Amino acid sequence: MSEEALVLKDVKKVYRTQTEEVQVLKGINLTIREGELAVIMGPSGSGKSTLLSIAGGLDKPTEGRVVVGGVDITDMSEEELAKIRARKIGFVFQSFNLVRNFTALENVMAPLIFTGLYTWKEAAEIASKMLEVVGLKGHEHKFPGQLSGGQQQRVAIARALAPGPDVVLMDEPTGSLDVDSAVRVLGLVKWLNEALGQTIVIVTHNPELSELATRTFYIRGGLIYEQPPGQILAERIKELKGGAGSRELKSLQLSMLKVKLEALERAASRGVADPGVIEAELKALERRISRLEKLLA
Ligand SMILES: Nc1ncnc2c1ncn2[C@@H]1O[C@H](COP(=O)(O)OP(=O)(O)OP(=O)(O)O)[C@@H](O)[C@H]1O
Ligand SMILES: [Mg+2]
């Protein structure tokens, strides 16, 4: 039923400096399935950001394989990776990383345009719907400097989710927020996972985030360990299912996915991308659409 969104196979990472060799990751095996919300914890310096960069194709492992949405990205060239990243992987960083002289709408449109799949009009339509999803309707034409930290992080989340990536990777997404904004952003993250079925991986050293997770991991000594889910958590997840407004959200999502499906089919017929990659994405999209249609029926 559920497909693998992200697979790390025996990933090792060694950093070499002039004086020493640090083995940060010593053989990480991790499989995240579609629809999961994984929280990976570990102390400062344990290799969380390293792991996330490798999972997202921003850095190469010293050894091992990285598979995102069924596509092995380990040996891809920088050029291929850039395209794949734009479509299959969303990043959210501690410091938002929005383009200062782009409006909120333009920030969310940017990765969509970069995929080369969407027309300007389609990108604007998807972006404005995504901003609505994260609760920023009416803020489309503001620049990052005119938004609060929490609002900026929501723009960053909308930007990461807009291309419908196989997985969204978040590195300390609430690290620069005050407590209230952090709670609001985390509520949004949980809701996006629940209502949209978006696969999300968060790395953090804050154990409170494990409350959000459907799966929890620890990194220690270069290895990763899974923490079995507690009963309380399982109960809380059940309670969260079918939250308010989720129906509208689902139909909003469905209409976005249909725009994407059309764009992808167009891309496939023009042969603008690797047919294997397109086919995997079409399948993933069709699965999402039929899942949503079932939920809405
Ligand atoms: N480019 C690099 N060259 C050499 N060593 C590095 C490099 N990047 C990271 N390291 C080392 O790798 C280890 C893991 O770093 P990483 O940033 O992944 O940790 P982290 O778990 O994200 O920590 P934090 O919670 O502080 O963000 C650290 O010891 C760090 O010094
Ligand atoms: Mg880090």
Of 58-72, 172-186, 201-215, 245-259, the range with the lowest mean pLDDT is: 245-259
Give residue 134's pLDDT band: very low, low, confident or very high (50, 70, 90). Answer: confident
Domain spanning 4-244: CATH 3.40.50.720 = no
Per-residue model confidence (pLDDT) at position 164 = 85
- What is d(CA 254, CA 289) in angstroms, rounded to the nearest whole number? 6
Residue 231: other Cβ atoms inside 10 A: 7
- Which residue reads 């909308």 in tokens? 158
Q: How far is the CA of 210 from the centre of ligand 1 (A)?
A: 22
| Ligand 1 pocket mutation pick from 12, 50, 171, 205 by most atoms within 8 angstroms of CB | 50
**Phi and psi, residue 210, nearest 5°:** -65, -20
The percentage of residues in the chain with a pLDDT greater than 70, rounded to a whole number, is: 93
Burial 251-270 (b: 16+ CB within 10 A, else e): ebbbebbebbbebbeebbee
Domain boundaries, the chain: 4-244
Q: How far is the CA of 162 from the centre of ligand 1 (A)?
A: 29
pTM for this prediction:
0.83
* Residue located nearest, by CA, to atom 5 of ligand 1: 15
In this structure, the dihedral spanned by the alpha carbons of residues 30, 9, 282 and 1, taken in order and rounded to 10 degrees, is -50
**Whether the predicted pLDDT of 264 surpasses 80:** yes
E-assigned strands of 164-275? 167-171, 200-204, 215-220, 223-227
Of 250, 258, 255, 261, residue with least CA distance to 294: 250
**Whether the predicted pLDDT of 245 surpasses 80:** no
